[in-house]
Structure 1
């Protein structure tokens, strides 16, 4: 489980450090930085998938994603006694992402490419430093994999350092290129752990959504990011997962209703029976809110729960009456996975808080995202370049 998350230099997250628990809900006003925090978690997951450089380039390059304010904001400025002044930053400028738990910690530092020689790939950030350590805090004694520039070294079981690479490309992470079942087993273990993280923010419910059309059905323990395989995912839960939990989740939101999956020559489709109707409704007939709730049920009752599940504004399109059942469903899912929910729907936030969620409230001051209560700001040390 992740117990600490740190982001530095990413959009409005100049220097944000969080303590996480098993169930977490991130909230705050519009523009407070909730989406930036969500995207920073996705970028960390992209490191393990080998696509963090492409993801940042897709956002306009590291130049457009870096914190645009001053490196520090003086107390006199915060009190309104002086104006914010732009000064040339001292030292290296970079975007830093990291997390830690009781077992492992990892951090990455991405910076500007050198201006010379000129290249058409100038929007690509470069990986300047990485570190992998045991425990929650980085230190010299618990560091066992380190990358500085093109060089990577790994500490063996005997405590001796081994040079794993001397020419690692600036766009390749040691997480993907130095993980080895013999000498880099810790890197390999953490990489596979991170690849198990699951994100849901693009579940489609529009009239042309794939979930509204029949799909070829195969065993599907994991719902797709857009929800296209909804019917197969629900049937998989029913056959090899918690069928009773699925039934309860549907009944909690729609009393007296039931969901069935029908097959026509291998093409699966969801049908929903509701109290008072003479025939079932196909997914093409369901409201956006009803379909979204079914998609969330399929994601949260997965028979293959992830190490970490992150839901970005799951309340979209849902009627307020569905937020209570959704909160209960998320709370149950947190018994099998660590869950982070990003939401500005107060009924859902309060329902999750009542279920024991750690409430993380963000606010923005002078363009910088910060915790509304800074009492739990954890210690954090970044790897050196």
Structure 2
């Protein structure tokens, strides 16, 4: 489980360190940085897929994603005694992402490439990557260290007096060591971290309009994991019924739609979702269901997966749902949190109130001051300790 999430230099997240529990509820007004936090988590996931540089390019490149305020915000500025002014930069441009977990922790540091060495000077270059043991970065706890193009097993891992083991000296500045290097004998922890991050799942919103593929019968295959777009919903529900928690599926549908049950029509090897409701003579097909009903079925398939990941992130799951469905959605989320760590970003006060009734729920309320995202109530004493590797 991830205990600490750290982001520095990404959009409004100038220097944010968050404690994470089993079920995490991220709230805050519009513009406080909830979406930036969600995207920062996705960028961490992209590191294991070797797509972090491409993802930043799609956001407009490094200049568009960096913290736009001053390097430091003086106390006199916070007290209103002086206006916000830029100062000469003391440190290199840096966008840093990291987490501390069990048993390993990881961080990545991106910046500009050296001038004159590339035809794409605004694309980010990976400067540092580290994997270490324990929650707090220390040189003595580093297991695998990447400094620019050099990747090595840190000194002291194999023996107190041994020299570091070099894995490569020629790693491209656009390639993450997690996705590029596979050395199970000398650096098995790198494989563990990579596979763990690759298992993270992100669900941001499902297309449920009249032309959505979800409303059209699809070829059915064994689907233990609903894809990000939800287009394989019928196969995912059929997989839950056959290999997952069928009782939880039936209970979830009954909770949201009393007297109803979900069915999957599999004629001609094409699967179609159907909902049989009390009082009707036939089941309603996916093309007949409302946007809210179909979206709830999508969240059901995502959260009742037979292969729960180590981390699942939901961005505003209440979208398009009637308020009457939100208590049932909250119970579904709480049930899923028994098997996987969850981060839920939400605006809905009804969903927030329902989730907070769970003693395992940790609320992370974001606020903004001088353009910077802050965690409400965070102090020097209750903020998790975090250290970044220096370049």
TM-score for the superposition, normalised by structure 1: 0.98
State how far apart, in whole Å, the 1-side matches of 2:279 and 2:180 are.
Answer: 58
**Counterpart for residue 378 of structure 1:** 384
What pairs up with 1:174-193 in 2 under 5 angstroms? Answer: 174-193=177-196
User: 1:125-176 CA deviation, whole Å, 9 max, x = no partner?
Assistant: 0000111100100002111111111111114443542011111110011112
**Counterpart for residue 2 of structure 1:** 2
Shift of 1:118: 5.3
Is the contact made by 1:63 and 1:112 (CA closer than 8 Å) also made in structure 2?
A: no
**Counterpart for residue 103 of structure 1:** 103
**Counterpart for residue 292 of structure 1:** 295
Is the contact made by 1:259 and 1:273 (CA closer than 8 Å) also made in structure 2?
A: yes
1:369 equivalent to 2:368? Answer no
User: 1:284-313 CA deviation, whole Å, 9 max, x = no partner?
Assistant: 111111000000000000001111000000
1:194 equivalent to 2:200? Answer no
Task: State the 4+ residue runs in structure 1 displaced beyond 6 angstroms.
Answer: none
**Counterpart for residue 170 of structure 1:** 173
State how far apart, in whole Å, the 1-side matches of 2:253 and 2:110 are.
Answer: 44
User: 1:298-345 CA deviation, whole Å, 9 max, x = no partner?
Assistant: 000000111100000000000011110111110110111000001111
1:339 equivalent to 2:342? Answer yes
1:42 equivalent to 2:42? Answer yes
1:264 to 242, 249, 267: 267
Is the contact made by 2:71 and 2:86 (CA closer than 8 Å) also made in structure 1?
A: no
1:80 equivalent to 2:80? Answer yes
Which ranges of structure 2 fall in alignment gaps of 5 or more residues? Answer: none
Which ranges of structure 1 fall in alignment gaps of 5 or more residues? Answer: none
RMSD over aligned Cα atoms: 1.1
Instruction: Say if 1:114 and 1:264 are closer, same or farther in 2 by CA, change over 3 A.
Output: same
Shift of 1:122: 2.6
State how far apart, in whole Å, the 2-side matches of 1:88 and 1:214 are.
Answer: 60
**Counterpart for residue 228 of structure 2:** 225
- What secondary structure does 2:139 align onto? coil
Is the contact made by 2:146 and 2:152 (CA closer than 8 Å) also made in structure 1?
A: yes
State how far apart, in whole Å, the 1-side matches of 2:55 and 2:348 are.
Answer: 28
- Aligned pair count reads 384
User: 1:228-287 CA deviation, whole Å, 9 max, x = no partner?
Assistant: 000000000000000000000000011111110011210000110112222211111111
1:254 equivalent to 2:262? Answer no
Is the contact made by 1:178 and 1:184 (CA closer than 8 Å) also made in structure 2?
A: no
Is the contact made by 1:179 and 1:186 (CA closer than 8 Å) also made in structure 2?
A: no
User: 1:55-89 CA deviation, whole Å, 9 max, x = no partner?
Assistant: 00111111110000011111211121110011232
Is the contact made by 1:221 and 1:237 (CA closer than 8 Å) also made in structure 2?
A: yes
Instruction: Say if 1:337 and 1:118 are closer, same or farther in 2 by CA, change over 3 A.
Output: closer
- What secondary structure does 1:97 align onto? strand
Is the contact made by 1:249 and 1:329 (CA closer than 8 Å) also made in structure 2?
A: yes
**Counterpart for residue 140 of structure 2:** 141
- What secondary structure does 1:141 align onto? helix
